[in-house]
Amino acid sequence: MRVLSGTQPSHDHLHIGNYFGALRQQVALQQKYETLIFIADLHSMNSVRNADERQRYTRAVALDFLACGLDPAQAILFRQSDVPEVCELAWYLSTVTPMGLLERGHAYKDKLAQGQSANHGLFAYPVLMAADILLYRADLVPVGRDQKQHVEMARDIAQRFNHNYGETFVLPEPVIGEHTAVLRGLDGRKMSKSYNNTIPLFESEKRLRKLIMKIKTNSLEPGEPKETEDNTLFEIYKAFATEEETQAIAKRYAEGIAWGEMKQLLFEYINEQLKPAREEYERLIANPGIVEEELQKGAEKARQRSAPFLAEIRDRIGIRRLG
């Protein structure tokens, strides 16, 4: 089974909410499947308008994956734009894609409903995403619920192409993460850069402790039993901990652990958990050429799969030598 996953470059720094929301699951795929993970820099052109920002964000995403355990010897990590076959295939697919299908796209309709101007890139986004998926004959595509429709559209486009030109594409299946953690931030709201309430994944020990000590709690005194439900400190601990460790902390809550003690305990625990990723991140930052080298190696492996398949597709559609 082949799994394909993509991430748009849209940030400088990963926070622990991002990690538990998606990246940890993406990295874990390499243990079970043939895994391809691409940085969707072409897709990012719909939202990121600054060239230097796109380059910086692309590097940040690559750093995130490599520091968090993605092994280039097991999984293929590459930049979308380093595989030119994807844009060529997107054109071929666009010729069998009905306008009505694209007009029903959630992202496109949402932009229109918000009164924003929709460009062709946003309108045709599902076609390029279909090319991303179909080019590598991916069996499974892990996505959030908001992206499920795009995988379904890729299936529809593939079926239309197959009907016209013969069985060519694998029909991908979306995989929805049902148990991904949605973490609260320092103020109790969902952890998000827009709320300025995040805990960066690669933060220094000193800064990490300072942020954890700022997490909002209630006024219950030491010794008073405390609820674990809807509690930010407990939820963050649970995201990192084993089931046995989580149960032990829940018992401490029932016994009335002091908030200051819990914050110190949480800091010490997750600091130890994050240390290997932080050290690898710092190593990569100190050796910037490694990241580009790994992306180029990944692109070469990806093209070993994409170029021969695109040659087959060209032949099927009649784009071939005349004699």
193 is catalytic: yes
Cα gap 43→122, rounded to integer Å: 9
- In the Cβ-directed half-sphere of 100, how many Cα atoms lie within 13 Å? 1
- Output phi, psi for 194, to 5 deg: -65, -25
SS3 string, the chain, reads CEEEEEECCCCCCCEHHHHHHHHHHHHHHHHCCEEEEEECCCHHHHCCCCHHHHHHHHHHHHHHHHHCCCCCCCCEEEEHHHCCHHHHHHHHHHCCCCHHHHHCCHHHHHHHHCCCCCCHHHHCHHHHHHHHHHCCCCCEEEECHHHHHHHHHHHHHHHHHHHHHCCCCCCCEEEECCCCCCCECCCCCECCHHHCCCCECCCCHHHHHHHHHCCCCCCCCCCCCCCCCCCHHHHHHHHHCCHHHHHHHHHHHHCCCCHHHHHHHHHHHHHHHHHHHHHHHHHHHHCCHHHHHHHHHHHHHHHHHHHHHHHHHHHHHCCCCCC
DSSP β-bridge partners for residue 15: 200
190 is catalytic: yes
Per annotation, catalytic residue among 148, 190, 216, 263 = 190
Per annotation, catalytic residue among 32, 148, 193, 251 = 193
* Active-site residue list: 111, 190, 193
